[in-house]
Structure 1
Amino acid sequence: MSAEPLEAPARPARTMRVPDTLLILLVLAVAAWAATYVFVPGHFAMTGDPARIVAGSFTSAGQAQPAPLFGDAQRTGLLDLLFAGLVSGDRDSAAVGLLAFILVVGGVFGVILKTGAVEAAIAAALPDGRVKNETLVIILFVLFSLAGAVFGMGEEAIAVSLILIPALVRAGYDSLTGLIVCYVATQIGFATSWMNPFSVIVAQSIAGVPPMSGMGLRVLAWILFTLIGAVWLWRHARMVRLDPARSPVFDTDQHWRSAPLAAAAHGFRWPHATILAVLGLGIIWVAWGVSARGYYLGEIAAQFVGIGMVIGVVARVARLPGISGNSLMEAFRDGAVALAPAVLVIAAAKGIVLVMGGDDPAADSLLNSLLAGLAGVTGALPDWLTAWGMYLVQSLINQFIVSGSGQASVTMPLMAPLADLSGVSRQTAILAFQLGDGLTNLVVPTSAALMGCLAAARVDFVAWLRFFWRPMAALMALSSVFVIAAHAIGYT
């Protein structure tokens, strides 16, 4: 009797993982360092106030200028690029000033979220039974879009979706309705924001454009995109409410129909209303400071600290559950730490630029040589096609660098001067970045916020793509029209 051969154990299926953003930047850093040994840098002539590149003025340095392995005060090397990126500039620069701004504002929003005012407001607005119209979900959609526009709400939507999605399913909708309200709304607001500190202000600071400038067109974009999104939400939510079986996720939503409804333990009370009122008034204060007083990164950060302090005092005096002086400071640290990855990404991207010779158009650098080459290509294209191409490039890059601040730090040092050379305004280039970065977060599997919200809703990624590809195509078409129209009107 012969023994049957043993079967080899099955190997676990290999899943493809997209490289981490810092790993991508590390590869780019090595490539940039190697390029300094091969390619010749150059510089441009500058004119005007503020200074702009003179088209056709590129001058080659004549020979390569290799970057060292270890840098010094005169030249950044490969191994010290991260340190150089962290300490480059001053309080108003797109390096150390911007990094400090992001950490401070992130800490303040950590305090705001710690108070539970947002969750309490949502729980108070949720119905106890089935709804009779779509008024509630439309209001929530607009509020979440506003949250994305004002303070860049993204990953926070994961926690909110854990409360909101089960409640909406129990109220007669489906988990897709909850995803539209929680996540789609925030990303529409994020992409069309006029004051998002982690996206548009970062890009404007790097591009040398005043913070919150060009507000009028962006506010119009926010209103239009939010209105279109709300109409689409109304159609879907109404269809599901009238006939739940028509929902693409009707079967999987059975889990939520049988689950208990989550709600805030202590309800929505006066401290929560006061905190939200302080936040709203604080945002108006920030907008006034920027538009009327010319406040920049340091002053805006100080305003947010003041807002956070008042909110902390309200929460402490009202003795909200879980709130103490120590817990508020811990929430501030956690909020700042949550943005530490974005800080490192920005620093690494800045370090790469420094390895290439810096981003001063009047000084020899490989970035200027690359700009000159791209300008030669775009010079053969119509201006509007260049503006639209910037939008498509930003959409593609967001597949790999999903951090808004990180993508701005990587792309804007190149896109801003390229806009000058191509006859496109820098404000239009920033708008192309915003729309390309923010809206593609709705479909890219590398977005932690998207995948977290899908997991919270128990919706498969493929099922989400089947449901959302048509709206996504419509959003991209509308974005293209907006970018081309911005160029046509000379958006500044």
Structure 2
Amino acid sequence: MPHTYVIIFFVVLLAAALTYLVPAGKFDTKEVTYQKGGTEETETVLIPDSFQIVKDNDGEALKEGTTLFEPGGGAGLLNYVFEGLVSGSKWGSAVGVIAFILIVGGAFGIIIRTRAIEEGILKVIDRTKGKESLIIPVLFFLFSLGGAVFGMGEEAIAFAMILVPIVVALGYDAITGVMITYVATQIGFATSWMNPFGVAIAQGVAGVPVFSGSMFRIVMWLFFTIVGIIFTWQYASKIRKNPERSLSYQSDEYFREDFESRDLNVNFTLGHSLVLLTVLAGIVWIIWGVVVHAYYIPEIASQFFTMGIVAGLIGVLFKLNKMGVNDIADAFAQGAKDLLPAALVVGMAQGIVIILGGDNPAEPSILNTILHSAGELFSGVAPSISAWFMYIFQTVFNFFVVSGSGQAALTMPLMAPLADLAGVTRQVAVLAFQLGDGFANIIVPTSAALMGTLGAARLDWGTWFKFVVKFFVVLFICGSLFVIVASLINFA
């Protein structure tokens, strides 16, 4: 598959071509007042029935076209990267979201450098000796929580290297190891109420208060996590009774031979405990700030930064993973570097919107015309069906753009106003995005994180597909029900 940047570039070319073919349009807008945290807030929304094609001086439909290059901060074809990166403000897309991604990535780079999370997992395994069956629900729950809170994904590759040999040695198989690591993170990612790389970006781009609708999502996360635990537990129990039933039985021989040579001594210290407590306290602080004081991107980013600094100082004080003061800076830089591609995707994707004329419904743009035409497709269709179609679209689109932040940045500028036209709340549009994105990640071969985890588990994608397709169907059906119910109750 082409790189995400390549896909975006060709989408930009398509957007530029459309400016010569599609006339610009605009909507009338109105101010909507609502209560939030005891204070009165206002939001500008478009009036769906007010769309009109903009005319030029000759009375013809206006087709502005896009030049190759524009000086003076204009929106030419070759300006899309820079203009996209610097668009918006610190309160939202794109520059604010980009800064948010880099700071949070750096903070978690420090936390990962302490090895507190890895040592915590080994400690859990050590505590369950003699009760090996508890490893599956406990680790599945913890990795799902990691996906929901931290947006874990690629990190599952490293954990699979540790855990797959262990579960094979306990009588299970590599498939079980992938389920309790990578798949669990994606269930958490898909149903998260505070994932900074998925739901937070989607909500920010869609103009929905960041981390709002958390209670509905927490219930949803618990439901899908339980479904995943039951499915994995039942499967693993069958394999332990008869390991030869496993699709990965032959490839698992590598781990059966390798396990005896591995050093898995637990080294969970007071310092590791303090780092994990810092992360927990940081999460509580963020939730409190969002709920009580309506903290948004600038405040939340600073909270994550504080969490990372405190974890780093603990790491230095207790010499965790031989950390020194400079290692805090190096780990922050590495964590930010790991998420730089995602940050660039946000800016580049915003460049598409700029090429299309911007996302202001009151200003002439072909994006408004496209939205109006798409809205016509939903004419006479129940909002719940429209929401379900959004879910299907996001699931299919994830094959081409696996990055959660990238998919949010590419699709939400279109899906959010389309939701307005279709009578669906923007919160439901965000829900359709996160479910479609997260669940599809467990099956699409274009996912680097999935393919990396399968590589660590010595599993071919074809073998994995034969196993996971049934589980994916279960997730898709349950996700459809949640999207439809959310639409029926006007989830906001």
Q: Report the TM-score range of the alignment, normalised by the length of the smaller protein.
A: over 0.9
Instruction: Quote the residue 2:40 is aligned against.
Output: none
List aligned pairs for 1:15-414, cutoff 5 A. 18-49=1-32, 50-62=43-55, 63-73=62-72, 75-127=74-126, 132-260=131-259, 262-263=262-263, 267-414=267-414
Task: Please state how far the C-alpha of 1:131 moved relative to its aligned partner.
Answer: 5.2
The 1-side partners of 2:70 and 2:335 are apart by 33
Instruction: Quote the residue 2:453 is aligned against.
Output: 453
Task: Please state how far the C-alpha of 1:264 moved relative to its aligned partner.
Answer: 5.1
TM-score when normalising by structure 2: 0.94
SS of 1:363's equivalent? Answer: coil
CA contact (8 A) 1:130 1:170 kept: no
CA contact (8 A) 1:70 1:79 kept: yes
The 2-side partners of 1:281 and 1:169 are apart by 35
Identity %: 44
Task: Please state how far the C-alpha of 1:199 moved relative to its aligned partner.
Answer: 0.4
Q: Deviations over 1:193-220 (max 9, x none)?
A: 0000000000000111101111111111
Q: In angstroms, what is the RMSD of aligned CA positions?
A: 1.4
The 2-side partners of 1:87 and 1:273 are apart by 40
Q: Which amino acid aligns with 1:165?
A: V
SS of 1:359's equivalent? Answer: coil
The 2-side partners of 1:355 and 1:462 are apart by 40
CA contact (8 A) 2:186 2:438 kept: yes
Instruction: Quote the residue 2:36 is aligned against.
Output: none
SS of 2:77's equivalent? Answer: coil
Task: Please state how far the C-alpha of 1:183 moved relative to its aligned partner.
Answer: 0.7
Instruction: Quote the residue 1:11 is aligned against.
Output: none
Q: Evaluate the alpha carbon distance shift between residue 80 and residue 264 of structure 1 in structure 2; reply closer, same or farther with a 3 A threshold.
A: farther
Instruction: Quote the residue 1:428 is aligned against.
Output: 428
Task: Please state how far the C-alpha of 1:39 moved relative to its aligned partner.
Answer: 1.4
CA contact (8 A) 1:190 1:438 kept: yes
List aligned pairs for 1:456-467, cutoff 5 A. 456-467=456-467
CA contact (8 A) 1:123 1:263 kept: no
Q: Which amino acid aligns with 1:484?
A: I
The 1-side partners of 2:46 and 2:171 are apart by 58
Instruction: Quote the residue 1:8 is aligned against.
Output: none
400-409 or 45-54, which moves further after superposition? Answer: 45-54
Instruction: Quote the residue 1:481 is aligned against.
Output: 481
The 2-side partners of 1:252 and 1:129 are apart by 26
Q: Which amino acid aligns with 1:30?
A: L
Q: Evaluate the alpha carbon distance shift between residue 128 and residue 413 of structure 1 in structure 2; reply closer, same or farther with a 3 A threshold.
A: closer
The 2-side partners of 1:240 and 1:180 are apart by 14
CA contact (8 A) 1:130 1:172 kept: no
CA contact (8 A) 2:201 2:405 kept: yes
377-386 or 346-355, which moves further after superposition? Answer: 377-386
Q: Deviations over 1:19-56 (max 9, x none)?
A: 11110110111111121122111110111321211121
Q: Which amino acid aligns with 1:52?
A: V
Q: Which amino acid aligns with 1:195?
A: M
Task: Please state how far the C-alpha of 1:133 moved relative to its aligned partner.
Answer: 4.7
Q: Deviations over 1:220-266 (max 9, x none)?
A: 11000000111111101111222222222112111101113544566
The 1-side partners of 2:194 and 2:124 are apart by 27
Task: Please state how far the C-alpha of 1:93 moved relative to its aligned partner.
Answer: 2.1
Instruction: Quote the residue 2:39 is aligned against.
Output: none
CA contact (8 A) 2:167 2:176 kept: yes
Runs of 4+ in 1 over 2 A off after TM superposition: 71-75, 124-133, 260-266
88-97 or 472-481, which moves further after superposition? Answer: 88-97
Q: Which amino acid aligns with 1:414?
A: L
Q: Evaluate the alpha carbon distance shift between residue 98 and residue 109 of structure 1 in structure 2; reply closer, same or farther with a 3 A threshold.
A: same
CA contact (8 A) 1:82 1:351 kept: yes
Q: Deviations over 1:423-469 (max 9, x none)?
A: 00100000000000000000000101100000000011000010111
Q: Evaluate the alpha carbon distance shift between residue 320 and residue 129 of structure 1 in structure 2; reply closer, same or farther with a 3 A threshold.
A: closer
The 1-side partners of 2:127 and 2:203 are apart by 45
385-394 or 321-330, which moves further after superposition? Answer: 321-330
Task: Please state how far the C-alpha of 1:132 moved relative to its aligned partner.
Answer: 4.9
Task: State how many pairs are aligned.
Answer: 475
Task: Please state how far the C-alpha of 1:320 moved relative to its aligned partner.
Answer: 1.8
The 2-side partners of 1:244 and 1:128 are apart by 24
Q: Deviations over 1:135-187 (max 9, x none)?
A: 12110000000000001000000011101111111122111110000011000
Task: Please state how far the C-alpha of 1:380 moved relative to its aligned partner.
Answer: 3.0
322-331 or 285-294, which moves further after superposition? Answer: 322-331
Q: Which amino acid aligns with 1:306?
A: T
The 2-side partners of 1:447 and 1:349 are apart by 19
CA contact (8 A) 2:19 2:65 kept: yes
The 1-side partners of 2:78 and 2:349 are apart by 14
Q: Which amino acid aligns with 1:455?
A: G
The 2-side partners of 1:287 and 1:130 are apart by 35
